[in-house]
Structure formats: structure tokens, C-alpha cells
Amino acid sequence: MKASGTITNILKNGCVLFTIITLITYGVGAILSNAEKSFIPTLQWILLFFAFSILLSGAAQIMHLDKIALPVRYLLHFLTSAALYTIVVVLCGGFYKNGTMLLLSILLFIAGYIVFAVFYSIRNRKRSGTAKKKEEYKSVFH
């Protein structure tokens, strides 16, 4: 794939991730909020979500490296994603100041990553299965 196609793909996927992360954050905020206190992400948080989403989309390119075994790709992607989350959300967002929020955010990140890994694995298995079925029959005996 060309570099411009890769960059476009990263931006497109980053925007989709941004939308999903923002909706989940608003949903969790609405559930955890009470009548006196509501959770509404500030502009700083929206920008941090966007930066994290674009960087995470870039890190997803690891999953396209066919020369590396799939479990190693998952491990590299998880470690990269965790590092990005730590830098962008925990450090820049200030979660390190509140232990409860830090623990909750780490647990949500890990749960989200597990859900991602399961869906990604299922999607790839279905794709590889249909790709094998669509191969043309080649006679072994001529």
C-alpha cells in the first residue's frame, strides 16, 4: 500500500476509534454520574481522546506485519497501546493523581483491549476462511 493510502487509512480508522471512545466515555459518565455531579468531558479530554485514537490507529499497523507471528503481533500491539494509553491518557490526562480513577481507567483499557482482540481474531478467522473457499480449484492431475 502507498504511504498516502496508509496515512488515509490511519486517519479514517483513528476517527472511527475517536467516535467509539467518546461515546463509551459519555456512556460510562452518564452511568456513574448522579444528580448533583455529572461527567462531561472537557475540550482537553476530547483532544486527548483524538490524539490517542490517531496514535492507536497508527499502532494498529503492527497487526498487518505478516512476517511476525500472530501472538507476537498481539503482544507488540498490546504493549504499544498500553504505552500510548499511559502517556496520553494517564500522564497528560492527570489520572495518576487519583488512584481510584487510575485503577478504573486501567481496568477499562484492559477490558476494551480484550474485547478488541476477540473481535479482531473472529473477523480475521472469517476472512481467512472465506479467502480459502474462494481459491480456484487447481487440478493436481493433468
**Grid coordinates of 120:** 479482531
Domain range for 86 = 3-129
**Grid coordinates of 3:** 504511504
Q: Is residue 141 situated within a structural domain?
A: no
Q: Is residue 139 situated within a structural domain?
A: no
Domain count, the chain: 1
Q: Is residue 43 situated within a structural domain?
A: yes
Taking alpha carbons only, the member of 66, 85, 62 closest to residue 75 is 62
What are the 10-residue block averages of pLDDT along the chain, 142 residues in total? 81 93 82 69 88 92 88 91 90 83 85 87 79 66 70
CA distances, 135 to each of 64, 111, 142 (Å)? 21, 37, 19
pLDDT at 47: 92
CA distances, 67 to each of 61, 70, 78, 81 (Å)? 13, 9, 18, 20
